[in-house]
Protein backbone atom coordinates (compact mmCIF):
# COMPACT_ATOMS: atom_id res chain seq x y z
CA UNK A 1 0.00 0.00 0.00
CA UNK A 2 1.22 3.56 -0.72
CA UNK A 3 2.42 5.60 2.23
CA UNK A 4 0.41 8.35 3.93
CA UNK A 5 3.21 10.74 2.98
CA UNK A 6 2.72 10.18 -0.76
CA UNK A 7 -1.09 10.21 -0.55
CA UNK A 8 -1.41 13.32 1.62
CA UNK A 9 -0.95 15.82 -1.30
CA UNK A 10 -3.79 14.07 -3.16
CA UNK A 11 -6.32 14.35 -0.34
CA UNK A 12 -7.50 17.95 -1.01
CA UNK A 13 -8.11 17.20 -4.71
CA UNK A 14 -11.48 16.44 -6.23
CA UNK A 15 -11.70 13.17 -8.10
CA UNK A 16 -11.81 14.89 -11.52
CA UNK A 17 -8.60 16.76 -10.73
CA UNK A 18 -6.61 13.53 -10.39
CA UNK A 19 -5.28 11.15 -12.97
CA UNK A 20 -6.78 7.68 -13.06
CA UNK A 21 -3.67 6.29 -11.36
CA UNK A 22 -3.72 8.95 -8.63
CA UNK A 23 -7.44 8.45 -8.00
CA UNK A 24 -7.00 4.69 -7.70
CA UNK A 25 -3.98 5.03 -5.38
CA UNK A 26 -5.88 7.43 -3.15
CA UNK A 27 -8.98 5.25 -3.02
CA UNK A 28 -6.93 2.15 -2.14
CA UNK A 29 -4.99 3.97 0.57
CA UNK A 30 -8.03 5.68 2.09
CA UNK A 31 -9.87 2.35 2.25
CA UNK A 32 -7.17 0.97 4.53
CA UNK A 33 -6.05 4.03 6.52
CA UNK A 34 -8.45 5.50 9.08
CA UNK A 35 -6.50 8.72 9.51
CA UNK A 36 -6.36 9.56 5.80
CA UNK A 37 -9.98 8.47 5.42
CA UNK A 38 -10.99 11.02 8.05
CA UNK A 39 -8.93 13.71 6.30
CA UNK A 40 -10.43 12.81 2.95
CA UNK A 41 -13.97 12.98 4.36
CA UNK A 42 -13.23 16.38 5.88
CA UNK A 43 -12.11 17.68 2.50
CA UNK A 44 -15.28 16.29 0.91
CA UNK A 45 -17.43 18.11 3.42
CA UNK A 46 -15.41 21.27 2.90
CA UNK A 47 -15.93 21.01 -0.86
CA UNK A 48 -19.67 20.54 -0.41
CA UNK A 49 -19.93 23.51 1.94
CA UNK A 50 -17.95 25.68 -0.49
CA UNK A 51 -20.34 24.74 -3.29
CA UNK A 52 -23.26 25.71 -1.05
CA UNK A 53 -21.66 29.15 -0.61
CA UNK A 54 -22.52 29.90 -4.24
CA UNK A 55 -26.17 30.12 -3.14
CA UNK A 56 -25.56 32.38 -0.17
CA UNK A 57 -25.89 36.06 -0.88
CA UNK A 58 -24.56 39.09 0.89
CA UNK A 59 -26.53 42.30 1.31
CA UNK A 60 -24.70 44.95 -0.72
CA UNK A 61 -23.59 48.22 0.84
CA UNK A 62 -26.38 50.80 0.98
CA UNK A 63 -27.20 52.50 -2.30
CA UNK A 64 -25.57 49.90 -4.56
CA UNK A 65 -28.79 48.95 -6.37
CA UNK A 66 -29.82 52.59 -6.83
CA UNK A 67 -26.34 53.45 -8.16
CA UNK A 68 -26.50 50.63 -10.68
CA UNK A 69 -30.01 51.58 -11.86
CA UNK A 70 -28.98 55.22 -12.37
CA UNK A 71 -25.80 54.17 -14.22
CA UNK A 72 -27.57 51.83 -16.60
CA UNK A 73 -30.36 54.37 -17.11
CA UNK A 74 -27.75 56.76 -18.50
CA UNK A 75 -26.19 54.13 -20.71
CA UNK A 76 -29.38 52.51 -21.95
CA UNK A 77 -29.87 54.99 -24.80
CA UNK A 78 -27.61 52.79 -26.87
CA UNK A 79 -29.86 49.95 -28.10
CA UNK A 80 -28.02 46.73 -28.79
CA UNK A 81 -30.78 44.36 -29.87
CA UNK A 82 -30.32 43.63 -33.64
CA UNK A 83 -34.10 43.43 -34.23
CA UNK A 84 -34.62 46.88 -32.74
CA UNK A 85 -31.64 48.20 -34.69
CA UNK A 86 -33.06 46.74 -37.94
CA UNK A 87 -36.48 48.29 -37.29
CA UNK A 88 -34.90 51.64 -36.50
CA UNK A 89 -32.80 51.42 -39.67
CA UNK A 90 -35.85 50.67 -41.82
CA UNK A 91 -37.80 53.55 -40.30
CA UNK A 92 -34.85 55.87 -40.88
CA UNK A 93 -34.56 54.78 -44.51
CA UNK A 94 -38.30 55.37 -45.03
CA UNK A 95 -38.11 58.88 -43.58
CA UNK A 96 -35.06 59.66 -45.74
CA UNK A 97 -36.88 58.43 -48.86
CA UNK A 98 -39.89 60.64 -48.13
CA UNK A 99 -37.71 63.69 -47.52
CA UNK A 100 -35.74 63.16 -50.76
CA UNK A 101 -38.94 62.53 -52.77
CA UNK A 102 -40.47 65.77 -51.50
CA UNK A 103 -37.31 67.72 -52.28
CA UNK A 104 -37.26 66.36 -55.85
CA UNK A 105 -40.94 67.20 -56.36
CA UNK A 106 -40.46 70.76 -55.07
CA UNK A 107 -37.51 71.24 -57.39
CA UNK A 108 -39.50 70.08 -60.41
CA UNK A 109 -42.31 72.45 -59.50
CA UNK A 110 -39.95 75.43 -59.32
CA UNK A 111 -38.05 74.65 -62.59
CA UNK A 112 -40.59 76.13 -65.15
CA UNK A 113 -40.28 79.54 -63.46
CA UNK A 114 -36.55 79.39 -63.96
CA UNK A 115 -37.00 78.82 -67.73
CA UNK A 116 -38.62 82.26 -68.13
CA UNK A 117 -35.38 83.94 -67.14
CA UNK A 118 -33.58 85.40 -70.22
CA UNK A 119 -30.02 84.26 -70.39
CA UNK A 120 -27.57 85.17 -73.22
CA UNK A 121 -27.06 82.25 -75.61
CA UNK A 122 -23.31 82.89 -75.76
CA UNK A 123 -21.22 84.46 -73.14
CA UNK A 124 -18.51 86.79 -74.38
CA UNK A 125 -15.47 87.96 -72.57
CA UNK A 126 -15.11 91.73 -72.41
CA UNK A 127 -12.15 93.30 -74.34
CA UNK A 128 -9.62 93.56 -71.61
CA UNK A 129 -6.26 95.30 -72.23
CA UNK A 130 -3.37 92.83 -72.60
CA UNK A 131 -0.45 93.58 -70.26
CA UNK A 132 2.73 94.83 -72.06
CA UNK A 133 5.22 92.15 -70.84
CA UNK A 134 2.88 89.41 -71.93
CA UNK A 135 2.53 91.03 -75.36
CA UNK A 136 6.34 91.24 -75.72
CA UNK A 137 6.76 87.56 -74.84
CA UNK A 138 4.12 86.68 -77.43
CA UNK A 139 6.05 88.49 -80.15
CA UNK B 1 -30.09 33.10 -8.56
CA UNK B 2 -32.74 31.97 -10.99
CA UNK B 3 -33.60 34.20 -13.93
CA UNK B 4 -36.41 33.56 -16.42
CA UNK B 5 -35.38 33.35 -20.03
CA UNK B 6 -38.36 35.53 -20.95
CA UNK B 7 -37.10 38.28 -18.69
CA UNK B 8 -33.66 38.17 -20.29
CA UNK B 9 -35.17 38.23 -23.78
CA UNK B 10 -37.37 41.19 -22.88
CA UNK B 11 -34.31 43.04 -21.58
CA UNK B 12 -32.48 42.15 -24.79
CA UNK B 13 -35.37 43.61 -26.80
CA UNK B 14 -34.89 46.93 -25.00
CA UNK B 15 -37.61 46.62 -22.34
CA UNK B 16 -36.48 49.04 -19.63
CA UNK B 17 -38.60 47.45 -16.91
CA UNK B 18 -37.20 43.97 -17.72
CA UNK B 19 -33.62 45.20 -17.50
CA UNK B 20 -34.21 46.85 -14.15
CA UNK B 21 -35.96 43.74 -12.86
CA UNK B 22 -33.00 41.67 -14.03
CA UNK B 23 -30.70 43.93 -12.02
CA UNK B 24 -32.95 43.74 -8.95
CA UNK B 25 -33.00 39.95 -9.06
CA UNK B 26 -29.29 39.42 -9.65
CA UNK B 27 -27.44 42.30 -8.00
CA UNK B 28 -26.99 40.54 -4.64
CA UNK B 29 -25.43 37.55 -6.31
CA UNK B 30 -23.14 39.74 -8.43
CA UNK B 31 -22.16 41.80 -5.40
CA UNK B 32 -21.43 38.66 -3.35
CA UNK B 33 -19.20 37.19 -6.04
CA UNK B 34 -17.43 40.54 -6.47
CA UNK B 35 -16.92 40.88 -2.71
CA UNK B 36 -15.40 37.41 -2.49
CA UNK B 37 -13.01 38.23 -5.30
CA UNK B 38 -11.97 41.81 -4.56
CA UNK B 39 -12.14 41.59 -0.79
CA UNK B 40 -13.77 44.85 0.27
CA UNK B 41 -17.31 46.25 0.08
CA UNK B 42 -16.57 49.54 -1.70
CA UNK B 43 -14.63 47.89 -4.51
CA UNK B 44 -17.35 45.23 -4.72
CA UNK B 45 -19.98 47.95 -5.21
CA UNK B 46 -17.85 49.54 -7.97
CA UNK B 47 -17.42 46.15 -9.63
CA UNK B 48 -21.18 45.53 -9.41
CA UNK B 49 -21.89 48.79 -11.23
CA UNK B 50 -19.26 48.05 -13.89
CA UNK B 51 -20.68 44.56 -14.36
CA UNK B 52 -24.12 45.91 -15.24
CA UNK B 53 -22.71 48.57 -17.53
CA UNK B 54 -20.96 45.77 -19.37
CA UNK B 55 -24.13 43.68 -19.30
CA UNK B 56 -26.06 46.54 -20.97
CA UNK B 57 -23.42 46.68 -23.71
CA UNK B 58 -23.12 42.93 -24.23
CA UNK B 59 -26.63 41.66 -23.52
CA UNK B 60 -27.57 41.82 -27.20
CA UNK B 61 -24.81 39.30 -27.91
CA UNK B 62 -25.95 36.80 -25.26
CA UNK B 63 -27.26 33.75 -27.15
CA UNK B 64 -28.58 31.61 -24.25
CA UNK B 65 -25.96 28.92 -24.95
CA UNK B 66 -25.13 28.93 -21.23
CA UNK B 67 -27.51 29.95 -18.45
CA UNK B 68 -27.79 33.66 -17.80
CA UNK B 69 -26.39 33.23 -14.28
CA UNK B 70 -23.30 31.43 -15.63
CA UNK B 71 -22.78 34.20 -18.20
CA UNK B 72 -23.27 36.87 -15.53
CA UNK B 73 -20.80 35.09 -13.29
CA UNK B 74 -18.15 35.14 -16.01
CA UNK B 75 -18.76 38.83 -16.64
CA UNK B 76 -18.41 39.48 -12.90
CA UNK B 77 -15.17 37.48 -12.76
CA UNK B 78 -13.69 39.37 -15.71
CA UNK B 79 -14.67 42.79 -14.37
CA UNK B 80 -13.42 41.94 -10.86
CA UNK B 81 -10.09 40.67 -12.16
CA UNK B 82 -9.66 43.77 -14.36
CA UNK B 83 -10.45 45.97 -11.38
CA UNK B 84 -7.89 44.15 -9.25
CA UNK B 85 -5.25 44.57 -11.91
CA UNK B 86 -5.93 48.33 -12.03
CA UNK B 87 -6.10 48.99 -8.35
CA UNK B 88 -4.02 48.24 -5.35
CA UNK B 89 -6.05 47.08 -2.47
CA UNK B 90 -7.04 49.96 -0.26
CA UNK B 91 -7.57 48.08 2.93
CA UNK B 92 -7.29 44.61 4.33
CA UNK B 93 -9.88 41.97 3.74
CA UNK B 94 -10.16 41.06 7.38
CA UNK B 95 -13.55 42.01 8.73
CA UNK B 96 -14.65 43.90 5.64
CA UNK B 97 -15.29 40.81 3.56
CA UNK B 98 -17.38 39.18 6.21
CA UNK B 99 -21.03 39.51 5.33
CA UNK B 100 -23.14 40.98 8.06
CA UNK B 101 -26.04 38.90 6.89
CA UNK B 102 -26.03 35.99 4.50
CA UNK B 103 -29.38 34.88 3.24
CA UNK B 104 -30.54 31.62 1.81
CA UNK B 105 -32.34 31.67 -1.51
CA UNK B 106 -34.88 29.14 -0.26
CA UNK B 107 -35.50 26.97 2.80
CA UNK B 108 -32.89 24.22 2.89
CA UNK B 109 -33.66 20.52 3.29
CA UNK B 110 -32.54 19.03 6.59
CA UNK B 111 -29.58 17.18 5.11
CA UNK B 112 -28.21 20.43 3.70
CA UNK B 113 -28.69 22.43 6.87
CA UNK B 114 -25.31 21.39 8.23
CA UNK B 115 -23.55 22.30 5.00
CA UNK B 116 -25.29 25.68 4.99
CA UNK B 117 -24.24 26.34 8.59
CA UNK B 118 -20.68 25.37 7.69
CA UNK B 119 -20.80 27.58 4.60
CA UNK B 120 -21.77 30.56 6.74
CA UNK B 121 -18.77 29.96 8.98
CA UNK B 122 -16.53 29.46 5.97
CA UNK B 123 -17.40 32.90 4.56
CA UNK B 124 -15.14 34.60 7.10
CA UNK B 125 -12.32 32.08 6.72
CA UNK B 126 -12.38 32.37 2.93
CA UNK B 127 -12.13 36.15 3.28
CA UNK B 128 -9.01 35.74 5.38
CA UNK B 129 -7.13 33.64 2.82
CA UNK B 130 -4.25 35.31 0.92
CA UNK B 131 -5.66 37.12 -2.12
CA UNK B 132 -4.30 34.78 -4.81
CA UNK B 133 -5.47 31.66 -2.99
CA UNK B 134 -8.85 33.20 -2.19
CA UNK B 135 -9.60 34.12 -5.80
CA UNK B 136 -8.70 30.69 -7.11
CA UNK B 137 -10.77 28.97 -4.42
CA UNK B 138 -13.77 31.27 -4.98
CA UNK B 139 -13.81 30.72 -8.73
CA UNK B 140 -13.09 26.99 -8.68
CA UNK B 141 -14.77 25.64 -5.55
CA UNK B 142 -17.59 28.12 -4.98
CA UNK B 143 -18.56 29.06 -8.54
CA UNK B 144 -17.47 25.81 -10.17
CA UNK B 145 -15.34 27.25 -12.96
CA UNK B 146 -12.89 24.86 -14.58
CA UNK B 147 -9.17 25.07 -13.86
CA UNK B 148 -8.62 26.40 -17.39
CA UNK B 149 -11.26 29.11 -16.98
CA UNK B 150 -9.72 30.19 -13.69
CA UNK B 151 -6.26 30.22 -15.27
CA UNK B 152 -7.50 32.40 -18.14
CA UNK B 153 -9.31 34.81 -15.85
CA UNK B 154 -6.30 35.22 -13.58
CA UNK B 155 -3.56 35.09 -16.19
CA UNK B 156 -1.99 31.99 -14.61
CA UNK B 157 -1.00 28.57 -15.86
CA UNK B 158 -3.32 25.67 -14.94
CA UNK B 159 -0.47 24.24 -12.85
CA UNK B 160 -0.20 27.44 -10.82
CA UNK B 161 -3.97 27.40 -10.30
CA UNK B 162 -3.80 23.84 -8.96
CA UNK B 163 -0.97 24.69 -6.56
CA UNK B 164 -2.85 27.72 -5.17
CA UNK B 165 -6.06 25.74 -4.97
CA UNK B 166 -4.54 22.89 -3.00
CA UNK B 167 -2.83 25.31 -0.60
CA UNK B 168 -6.08 27.21 -0.13
CA UNK B 169 -8.02 24.03 0.65
CA UNK B 170 -5.36 22.81 3.07
CA UNK B 171 -5.26 26.14 4.84
CA UNK B 172 -9.03 26.48 4.96
CA UNK B 173 -9.47 23.02 6.42
CA UNK B 174 -6.74 23.65 9.00
CA UNK B 175 -8.26 26.99 10.03
CA UNK B 176 -11.72 25.54 10.20
CA UNK B 177 -10.47 22.76 12.46
CA UNK B 178 -8.58 25.28 14.57
CA UNK B 179 -11.60 27.55 15.04
CA UNK B 180 -14.02 24.76 15.71
CA UNK B 181 -11.78 22.48 17.71
CA UNK B 182 -11.72 19.73 15.15
CA UNK B 183 -15.49 19.68 14.80
CA UNK B 184 -15.31 19.07 11.06
CA UNK B 185 -13.01 16.12 11.38
CA UNK B 186 -15.07 14.68 14.21
CA UNK B 187 -18.30 15.07 12.26
CA UNK B 188 -16.72 13.56 9.19
CA UNK B 189 -15.50 10.66 11.26
CA UNK B 190 -18.97 10.09 12.70
CA UNK B 191 -20.53 10.26 9.26
CA UNK B 192 -17.99 7.79 7.90
CA UNK B 193 -18.59 5.43 10.81
CA UNK B 194 -22.37 5.60 10.36
CA UNK B 195 -21.90 5.01 6.63
CA UNK B 196 -19.93 1.84 7.34
CA UNK B 197 -22.58 0.59 9.75
CA UNK B 198 -25.36 1.04 7.22
pLDDT in tens, A52-67: 898 889 899 999 999 9
The pLDDT of residue B192 is 52
Average pLDDT over residues A72-101: 74
Helix axis angle, B158-180 relative to B147-154, nearest 10°? 100
In a domain, A92, yes or no: yes
Question: Which residues of chain B lie closer than 8 angstroms to A13, CB-CB?
Answer: 166
CATH code assigned to B108-198 = 1.10.10.10
The helices-and-strands tally (H runs, E runs) of chain A is 6, 1
Q: Distance between CA atoms of B173 and B39, rounded to whole angstroms?
A: 20
The model's pLDDT over A12-54, given as tens digits with 9 standing for 90+, comes to 998 888 999 999 999 999 999 999 999 999 999 899 889 889 8
Q: Which residues belong to CATH 1.10.1740.10 in chain B?
A: 1-98
In a domain, A9, yes or no: yes
Please return the burial class of A42, using the count of CB atoms within 10 Å of its CB with bins 0-12, 13-18 and 19+.
buried
Please return the burial class of B120, using the count of CB atoms within 10 Å of its CB with bins 0-12, 13-18 and 19+.
middle
Checking if the pLDDT of A93 tops 80, the result is yes
The pLDDT of residue A60 is 93
| A104 or B108, greater pLDDT | A104
In a domain, A36, yes or no: yes
The domain of A8 spans: 4-53
Could you tell me if A1 lies within 8 Å of chain B, comparing CB atoms?
Answer: no
**Cα dist. B189→A43, B86, B140, B183 in Å?**
12, 45, 26, 10
Domain total of chain A: 2
Checking if the pLDDT of A134 tops 70, the result is no
The pLDDT of residue A126 is 54
Q: Confidence band (pLDDT; 50, 70, 90) for A89?
A: confident
Q: Distance between CA atoms of B33 and A56, rounded to whole angstroms?
A: 10
In a domain, A72, yes or no: no
Q: Is A54 helix (H, G, I), strand (E, B) or coil?
A: coil
In a domain, A14, yes or no: yes
The pLDDT of residue B143 is 92
Of B31, B53, B177, Cβ closest to residue A72? B53
Question: Which residues of chain A lie closer than 8 angstroms to B29, CB-CB?
Answer: 57
A53–B126 CB contact, under 8 Å: yes
CA distance B27 to chain A (A): 7
A56–B120 CB contact, under 8 Å: yes
Continuous H helices in B39-143: 41-58, 68-86, 110-127, 131-137
In a domain, A20, yes or no: yes
CA dihedral A8, A13, A15, A19 (to 10 degrees): -70
The pLDDT of residue B195 is 52
A84–B13 CB contact, under 8 Å: yes
**Cα dist. B106→B2, B12, B109, B176, B194 in Å?**
11, 28, 9, 26, 29
Of A9, A75, A79, Cβ closest to residue B53? A75
Q: Distance between CA atoms of B62 and B68, rounded to whole angstroms?
A: 8
For an interface test with B, the pick among A53, A59, A70 (most B C-beta atoms closer than 10 Å) comes out as A53
ipTM over 0.85: no
Task: Calculate the average pLDDT of chain A.
Answer: 79
In a domain, A32, yes or no: yes
The pLDDT of residue A98 is 85
Average pLDDT over residues A84-112: 79
- Do B123 and A53 touch, CB atoms closer than 8 A? yes
Please return the burial class of A7, using the count of CB atoms within 10 Å of its CB with bins 0-12, 13-18 and 19+.
buried
Domain B1-98 falls in which CATH fold?
Rna Polymerase Sigma Factor; Chain: A (1.10.1740)
> Quick one: closest CA in A to B146, which residue?
A17
The pLDDT of residue A130 is 56
Q: Which residues belong to CATH 1.10.10.10 in chain B?
A: 108-198
Give me the tens of pLDDT residue by residue for chain B, a chain 198 residues long: 678 889 999 999 989 999 999 999 999 999 999 999 998 899 999 999 999 999 999 998 898 888 999 999 999 999 999 988 876 544 444 334 444 344 444 445 665 677 778 888 899 899 999 999 999 999 999 999 999 999 999 999 999 999 999 999 999 999 888 877 655 455 555 555 555 444
Question: Which residues of chain B lie closer than 8 angstroms to A9, CB-CB?
Answer: 166
Cβ under 8 Å to B: A residues 41-100: 41-61, 63-65, 67-69, 71-72, 75-76, 78-84
B44–A65 CB contact, under 8 Å: no
A56–B119 CB contact, under 8 Å: yes
Amino acid sequence: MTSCHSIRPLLPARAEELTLFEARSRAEHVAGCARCATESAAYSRLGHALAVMAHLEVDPVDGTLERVLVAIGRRRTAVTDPRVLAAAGSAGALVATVVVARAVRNRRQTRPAARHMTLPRRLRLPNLPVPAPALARAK
Amino acid sequence: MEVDRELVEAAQAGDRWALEELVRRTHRSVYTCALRLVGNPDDAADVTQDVYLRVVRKLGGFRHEASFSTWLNRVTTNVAMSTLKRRTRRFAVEGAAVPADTRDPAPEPAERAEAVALARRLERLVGELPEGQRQVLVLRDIYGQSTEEVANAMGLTPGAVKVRLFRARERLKAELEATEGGQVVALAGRRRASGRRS
